[in-house]
Structure 1
Amino acid sequence: MTTDTPSRELRSQRLNKITHAPHEKLDHAVKAHAPFATLSSYTRFVVAQYLFQSELQTLYRDPQLIALIPDLAQRCRAEQAAADLQDLNTELPVGVAGAVQQPGVAQALGWLFVSEGSKLGAAFLIKRAEALNLSHQFGARHLGEPEGGRAAGWKAFTRILDELPLSASQEAELDQGALAAFERFGVLLEHAYAGSAAPQADVAQA
């Protein structure tokens, strides 16, 4: 167990710092595609979200990781994103080569750090989705507030992460995983918007 002092930077704080630049880069890329300008553009955004979450399903179901984070399996949003695509009359996309494969525990936690952190930003995104007549019950389920609240869920995750005993090499793997997660979502985002077949935009409202 690491020994914290009042002046010591928490692990989650360090991760926030080192991922600030790639986070900003990804935010700019998302805004460039204007995902909330039209229903068709939003659908492509959900395709990217589904691809990313589906790639992380094995991490959310990993027994070693669940031993550290008991509610981990319930935190995954792949099923919600899949339901959103069904609401949007869009078939589930085929996986994209390059998905993370059997990372170590520390690296996997870096990926999960990014995935879980994105739930905080989703609080703003779902308000944009509502302008397209979507909601946490239809079309924007993956952006909905997790059970227990966004802030509480994030604090519980980072509390566990901050208290884990990790070696210096594991700390490096953790950082690598977080950076790789941002890079991967960027790849999936561009793939979703470069698709030759435009998603269907005629949606029957719930």
Structure 2
Amino acid sequence: MTAIAQPTAQLPLSKRLKAGTSRDHDSVDTLVMHSRPFESLERYGYFLRVQHRFHGAIDALYDDIALNRLLPGLSELPRFEAVCADLAALDLSVPPVPPAVIPSSPHAALGWLYCSEGSNLGAAYLFKETQRIGLDAQYGARHLAAHPQGRGLHWRQFVALLDGLDLSEAQRDEAVSGAVAAFDFYRAALREIFPAA
């Protein structure tokens, strides 16, 4: 018997976000790998600058009072300082803090945070790749290291908070739009910062 696909309107928010951004996620993932960020320390430096721009632009969201009410513990999760520490560890200049992203609503901001926290789950592969160029959680790849509770548990806890929110359909649509905007932002940063192949 063939399973009937669940309408996206009925999906938990995390699955709605995943379904609504799968193409964006795949295109960013492909672009990252085509940029060869772990081919050398020089190319990894470009990757760190991309990470700096993205995490710096969303850093203020993690301290937002309204978002912390929606997602308790959010203020403990940002990785911008770790990215700056990784740049400094490799004796790379730390760029100025990028302009803050201002999502159109708190619900759009949820999409940006979904993108950011989801990238931490996928960073297991990236973190492993950094070890091939001599980096680890103490030197140069701190921001890619696993959460102290482990990547899987941390992600499941974050998803449970997202899925527990009582949002209207319009608000859920705003969250998806925010996540798409986050992927667009990251894709643009990759294309601008990495030198042309």
TM-score in same-fold range (> 0.5): yes
The alpha-carbon deviation at position 104 of structure 1 amounts to 1.3
CA distance in 2, matches of 1:162, 1:74: 20
Counterpart of 1:92, as a letter, is V
Q: Which runs of 5+ in 2 are unaligned?
A: 1-9
CA contact (8 A) 2:107 2:171 kept: yes
Counterpart in the other structure of 1:140: 141
Deviations 1:63-113 (Å, cap 9, x if unpaired)? 11111222111110000000000011111123556x521541100000000
Counterpart of 1:124, as a letter, is Y
CA distance in 2, matches of 1:149, 1:68: 22
CA contact (8 A) 1:80 1:142 kept: yes
Describe the SS at the equivalent of 1:56: helix
CA contact (8 A) 1:96 1:188 kept: no
Structure 1 runs (4+) greater than 3 angstroms displaced:
94-97
Counterpart in the other structure of 2:118: 117
Counterpart in the other structure of 1:26: 28
CA distance in 1, matches of 2:72, 2:174: 22
CA contact (8 A) 2:59 2:78 kept: yes
Counterpart of 2:95, as a letter, is P
Aligned ranges 1:41-120 → 2 under 5 Å: 41-94=43-96, 100-120=101-121
CA distance in 1, matches of 2:50, 2:97: 10
Q: Which runs of 5+ in 1 are unaligned?
A: 1-7, 196-206
Describe the SS at the equivalent of 1:70: coil
- Which of 35, 38, 44 in structure 2 is aligned with 1:36? 38
| RMSD, aligned CA | 1.5
Counterpart of 2:142, as a letter, is R
The alpha-carbon deviation at position 171 of structure 1 amounts to 1.1
**Percentage of matched positions with identical amino acids:** 37
TM superposition score normalised by structure 2: 0.90
CA contact (8 A) 1:59 1:65 kept: yes
CA distance in 1, matches of 2:119, 2:106: 20
CA distance in 2, matches of 1:96, 1:33: 22
Counterpart in the other structure of 1:157: 158
- Which of 17, 20, 25 in structure 1 is aligned with 2:19? 17
Counterpart in the other structure of 2:4: none
Equivalenced residues, count: 187
Deviations 1:148-193 (Å, cap 9, x if unpaired)? 1111111111111111011122111101001000000011112221
